[in-house]
Amino acid sequence: MSYKDYEIVIGLEVHCELKTESKIFCGCTTQFGGDPNTHCCPICTGMPGTLPVLNGDVVEYAIRAGLATNCKISEYSKQDRKNYFYPDLPKAYQVSQYDLPLCYEGEVEIDLHEESKKIGITRIHIEEDAGKLLHESGEGSLVDYNRCGVPLIEIVTEPDLRSPEEVGIFMQKLRSILLYSDVSDCKMNEGSLRCDVNLSVRKKGSKEFGTRTEMKNINSFNFAVKAAEYEAKRQIKAIENGEAIIQETRRWDDAKGITISMRSKEEAHDYRYFPEPDLMPIVTPKEKIEAIRQALPEMPDTRKKRYMEAYGLSTYDADLIVASRNMADYYEEAAKASKNPKAVANWIMTEIFSRMTEDQKEEANIPFESGLLAELVNLIEQDIISNSIGKKVFNTMWETGKSPNEIVEEEGLKQISDDGPLIEMAKEVIEGNEKVVNDYLSGKEQAVQALMGQMMKKTKGQANPKKVIDILKSLLNEMK
Ligand code: ADP
Ligand code: MG
Ligand code: ZN
């Protein structure tokens, strides 16, 4: 038996913080940060006698997320109390949804290497976030309720994922959809997107699922993939050793690179769900749902297909560009203003993405407008500057935000395409390089490259490379 004889089965529960202005049941701000317990009121700190009022935006955002993931939307939905006793939750229950979630039966398509695959979305429900415990003080623990009552959606997938790699691809895709539908800023470092990874393994060909474990509260895609890789191997090894898998909650320890048992099913909470008596059912008429659907922006999949058809982008390039809505908008504006949309994509795929990685930017934050990228592409298209000078201009644009025309003018970077000076220079180079010239004349065609290199150096890269080659060859061929 080996790992290859097993199939991995994974389902995710993804928590996503909504970007509404105020919390789910009170008027407190949802802004990240702030001194501890400054974004709070009697309602979100669970004072007796207070009453919650549902924030209508929360319902609308959740429906938007549901429609963007091809879910059905419940016209009649309700909220329930999920009871558990822990100090991060001052009411001792979380208002969530149990049997009538707002959205259900959706699907998200992911692109694998050769084919695409649909991942079922079981449900999306709304709920409130909890506070944060700080254990660092050394004198007991402290609690910060600023996050308490911040609206969340929980997106539950069917156990349709079949490898750790698929987990990573799915999470990227889901993030992109949530960003497009403008329901969350999906900032991993602020905890606005996190997931629980449920994983089991089974012998290939087996119809029944194996016993699963759940890795809770993973706040990076990378950790989710690594946790799944580790856990799959751990389970297979245990089964091979004749041990039974225990249904339990585990924790990913990234420093150690392992998952650690937290509690078994026997110790699991009984949440004693019951309908929230202080809140009315959520009734959303069909017309309202349709209006939200109509207002939804074009989703990444549709955009990707459009860019491939209209601008000739490869699947790979289109995928990366549409992953962020800001980047897709930026690209499309530049593509429309340029004479070569494919070249615009190349600049994004190479220079812009690598600059963003260097600057550690999660989202497109390019220091110049899309029109200027189009201008740069057009300068190269029109042979006013060469591609290599283009890189130099790009760097200056990134640092100063100046327009490429301005930079080319100021630094005198225009390409030298006039035959006269180039022929003069070529003659000089040929005279000064007897050996290389003889090599060429005796049949070593590539020797011309050395001569070209010298001309490019003399002109600081500004000579039109095609012209240079043509002139050199014709002068050399005259010598034959
Ligand atoms: P619970 O209510 O205990 O959280 P659910 O049945 O709602 O359990 O499932 C939670 C998640 O676990 C879902 O994403 C689901 O796809 C996944 N899941 C369920 N069974 C398995 C299994 N055998 N292997 C892997 N994932 C599973
Ligand atoms: Mg669960
Ligand atoms: Zn409040």
200 and 74 in a common domain: yes
pLDDT recorded at residue 194 = 94
Among candidate residues 411, 441, 466, the one where a domain is terminated: 411
Ligand 1 test: best mutation among 161, 198, 214, 231, most atoms within 8 Å of CB? 198
Residue with tokens 């950790």: 223
State mean pLDDT over 146-164: 98
How far is ligand 1, taken at its centre, from the CA of residue 213, in Å?
Answer: 9
pLDDT recorded at residue 362 = 60
How far is ligand 1, taken at its centre, from the CA of residue 155, in Å?
Answer: 12
How many residues does the structure list for the chain?
480
pLDDT recorded at residue 1 = 61
What percent of the chain is modeled with pLDDT above 70?
99
Q: Which ligand places an atom closest to the C-alpha of 27?
A: 3
Answer whether 235 contacts ligand 1 (Cβ < 6 A).
no
Closest ligand 1 atom to residue 209 Cα is: 23
Answer whether 345 contacts ligand 1 (Cβ < 6 A).
no
162 and 227 in a common domain: yes
State mean pLDDT over 72-85: 96
Q: Which of 160, 233, 172, 168 is nearest to 198 (CA)?
A: 160
Res. 363 pLDDT band, cuts 50 70 90: low
Is pLDDT of 360 > 90?
no
Of 459 and 407, which is predicted with more confidence?
407
Q: Which ligand places an atom closest to the C-alpha of 122?
A: 1
390 and 437 in a common domain: no
Res. 56 pLDDT band, cuts 50 70 90: very high
Is pLDDT of 23 > 90?
yes
What's the CA gap between 398 and 210, in Å, rounded? 53
Q: Which of 185, 180, 253 is nearest to 31 (CA)?
A: 185
334 and 195 in a common domain: no
358 and 209 in a common domain: no
Is pLDDT of 51 > 80?
yes
Is pLDDT of 359 > 90?
no
Write the pLDDT tens digit of every residue in 4-21: 899 999 999 999 999 999
The stretches of 69-202 forming alpha helices (DSSP H) are 164-180
36-45, 119-128, 443-452: least confidently modelled range: 443-452
Of 57 and 477, which is predicted with more confidence?
57
Closest ligand 1 atom to residue 211 Cα is: 23
How far is ligand 3, taken at its centre, from the CA of residue 24, in Å?
Answer: 9
What percent of the chain is modeled with pLDDT above 90?
73
Closest ligand 1 atom to residue 198 Cα is: 26
Is pLDDT of 324 > 70?
yes
pLDDT recorded at residue 264 = 78
Q: Average pLDDT over the chain, rounded to whole?
A: 93
Q: Which ligand places an atom closest to the C-alpha of 30?
A: 3
How far is ligand 2, taken at its centre, from the CA of residue 74, in Å?
Answer: 22
DSSP-assigned states of every residue in 34-57: -STT-S--TTTTT-TT------HH
What's the CA gap between 185 and 59, in Å, rounded? 17
pLDDT recorded at residue 349 = 95
How far is ligand 1, taken at its centre, from the CA of residue 282, in Å?
Answer: 26
Spatial contact of 244 and 271, defined as CB atoms under 8 Å apart = no
Among candidate residues 382, 411, 440, the one where a domain is terminated: 411
What's the CA gap between 62 and 267, in Å, rounded? 32
How far is ligand 2, taken at its centre, from the CA of residue 13, in Å?
Answer: 7
305 and 265 in a common domain: no
pLDDT recorded at residue 361 = 67
358 and 211 in a common domain: no
403 and 280 in a common domain: no
194 and 98 in a common domain: yes
Answer whether 231 contacts ligand 1 (Cβ < 6 A).
no
Q: Which of 19, 398, 48 is nearest to 185 (CA)?
A: 19
Closest ligand 1 atom to residue 210 Cα is: 23
List the structure tokens of 317: 């390039």
**DSSP single-letter state for residue 160:** -
What's the CA gap between 436 and 449, in Å, rounded? 10
Residue ranges making up the domain that contains 376: 298-411
What's the CA gap between 455 and 392, in Å, rounded? 18
Residue with tokens 């220091």: 367
Residue with CA at minimum distance from ligand 1 atom 15:
11
Write the pLDDT tens digit of every residue in 225-254: 999 999 999 999 999 999 999 999 999 999
392 and 277 in a common domain: no
CB atoms within 10 A of CB 299: 18
Res. 189 pLDDT band, cuts 50 70 90: confident
Q: Which of 146, 22, 16 is nearest to 88 (CA)?
A: 146
455 and 360 in a common domain: no
How far is ligand 3, taken at its centre, from the CA of residue 38, in Å?
Answer: 10
Residue with CA at minimum distance from ligand 1 atom 4:
13
Q: Based on the structure, what is the number of domains in the chain?
A: 3
What's the CA gap between 265 and 247, in Å, rounded? 6
324 and 283 in a common domain: no
CA 203 from centroid of its chain's CA atoms = 33
**DSSP single-letter state for residue 159:** S
Among candidate residues 411, 433, 451, the one where a domain is terminated: 411
pLDDT recorded at residue 277 = 97
How far is ligand 1, taken at its centre, from the CA of residue 160, in Å?
Answer: 10
Spatial contact of 132 and 88, defined as CB atoms under 8 Å apart = yes
CB atoms within 10 A of CB 418: 10
> How far, in Å, are 131, 431, 445, 472 from residue 279 at the CA level?
21, 91, 83, 83
Q: Which ligand places an atom closest to the C-alpha of 146?
A: 3
Answer whether 96 contacts ligand 1 (Cβ < 6 A).
no
Q: Which of 370, 377, 270 is nearest to 329 (CA)?
A: 370
DSSP run (H or E) holding 81? strand 80-83
**DSSP single-letter state for residue 340:** -
Residue with tokens 């799915």: 170
Closest ligand 1 atom to residue 12 Cα is: 14
